[in-house]
Amino acid sequence: MDFEKIVDSYHPNYLINSNKEQLVEKLDEHFQNDVDGIRFVFPTMAFNYAPIREINSGKYCVITFKNSFRIILSNTQAESQVQKDLASYLKIKNYKSVKFESKRNSYFIEENVTWIAVSSAQTNWKWTFIEMNSTFKSLDELLDTSLQKELGL
């Protein structure tokens, strides 16, 4: 995966208190490490776009879609650990389905994803993206709460 291009599409607020190289490294570690790896399952994704809204001289669009991926484990897990992992994953609010696949030694996860596309002076009028359930920062760190409210988030 080209993590640099992914980071280039992030909203500039992701880079507050970190830099591009750190985010690329975090993505690389998140997707490929000694314990597990994440692989996207490529279903036909249906993106749902809310109308583009102009707020405070910026343009915003809420995008939702369903995503599927596998967390492939490097080592076999004891059944008790699998049950703990399943319980933990099911607490993540955007995860809609989590199954352990013993033959693949992996977790298959289906989630509902929400992105906010932003084009503003801060982004040099280039469309950038904020993930509502970001691994790296909370939504409140990335998008002003008044904008979240206006966008119905």
**Cα radius of gyration (the chain):** 17
The reported pLDDT for the residue numbered 29 is: 79
Question: What does the pLDDT read at residue 37?
Answer: 75
pLDDT tens sequence for the chain (153 residues): 778 888 888 888 888 888 888 888 888 877 777 767 787 887 678 899 999 999 999 999 999 999 999 999 988 989 999 999 999 999 998 899 999 999 999 999 999 999 999 999 999 999 999 998 877 678 888 899 999 999 999
28: Cα separation from own chain's centroid: 14
Query: Which residues, 6 or more positions from 142, have their beta carbon under 8 angstroms from its beta carbon?
Result: 11, 13, 14, 130, 134
pLDDT of residue 45: 82
What pLDDT score was predicted for residue 60? 97
Beta-bridge partner residues of 74: none
User: Would you state the pLDDT for residue 35?
Assistant: 67
